[in-house]
Structure 1
Amino acid sequence: MEFGLFIGALAIVYLIPGPDMLLVLHTSSTLGRGHGLATALGLAIARGAHVALAGLGLAALFIAAPWLFDVVRYVGAAYLVWLALQFIRTQPRTSINQQQVPLNGSYYMAWRRGLLTNLLNPKSLLFCSVLLPQFVHAEQGSVPLQFTLLGIMMVSVGLLYDAVYACIGAKMQRWVAGNQTKQKIQNWVFGTLLIGFALRLAS
Structure 2
Amino acid sequence: MSVALAPLIVFAASQVGTPGPANMALLATGARFGFRAALPFVAGVALGKQLIIWPIGFGLMELATRVPWLFTALKYLSAAYIIWLAWKVANLRLGQGDAGARVPGFAAGLIVHPLNPKAWAMIVGSFTAFIGPDVSTLAATATVACVLLACQIVMHPLWTLGGDALARSVAGTRTEPYLMWTLAALTVASVLFVLFAKGA
**TM-score, length-normalised on structure 1?**
0.69
**Is 1:66 equivalent to 2:64 in the alignment?**
no
Which residue identity is paired with 1:41?
A: G
Which residue identity is paired with 1:124?
A: M
Q: Return the alpha-carbon distance in structure 1 between the equivalents of residues 83 and 21 of structure 2.
A: 14
Check whether the contact 1:43–1:117 (CA below 8 A) recurs between aligned residues: no
Q: Return the alpha-carbon distance in structure 1 between the equivalents of residues 8 and 193 of structure 2.
A: 22
Q: Return the alpha-carbon distance in structure 2 between the equivalents of residues 183 and 37 of structure 1.
A: 26
Q: Which residue of the partner structure matches residue 48 of structure 2?
A: 45
- Pairwise CA distance, 1:157: 0.7
Cα 1:36–1:99 shift into 2, 3 Å: same
Q: Return the alpha-carbon distance in structure 1 between the equivalents of residues 183 and 64 of structure 2.
A: 30
Check whether the contact 2:20–2:190 (CA below 8 A) recurs between aligned residues: yes
Aligned residues, how many? 190
**Is 1:169 equivalent to 2:163 in the alignment?**
yes
The alignment partner of 1:180 has SS state of coil
Which residue identity is paired with 2:9?
A: L
Provide the alpha-carbon RMSD of the alignment: 3.6
Which residue identity is paired with 1:196?
A: A
Report the structure, 1 or 2, having the larger helix content. Answer: 1
- Pairwise CA distance, 1:146: 2.3
- Once the two structures are superposed, the pairs formed by residues 91-102 of structure 1 within 5 Å of their partners are 91-93=93-95, 97-99=96-98, 102=101
Which runs of 5 or more structure 1 residues have no equivalent in the other structure?
A: 138-142
The alignment partner of 2:93 has SS state of coil
The alignment partner of 2:98 has SS state of coil
Q: Which residue of the partner structure matches residue 85 of structure 2?
A: 83
Identity %: 15
Cα 1:119–1:12 shift into 2, 3 Å: closer
Check whether the contact 1:132–1:150 (CA below 8 A) recurs between aligned residues: no
Residue of 173, 191, 196 corresponding to 1:180: 173
**TM-score, length-normalised on structure 2?**
0.70
Which runs of 5 or more structure 2 residues have no equivalent in the other structure?
A: none
Cα 1:144–1:112 shift into 2, 3 Å: closer
Q: Return the alpha-carbon distance in structure 2 between the equivalents of residues 159 and 37 of structure 1.
A: 14
Check whether the contact 2:58–2:141 (CA below 8 A) recurs between aligned residues: no
Q: Which residue of the partner structure matches residue 15 of structure 1?
A: 14
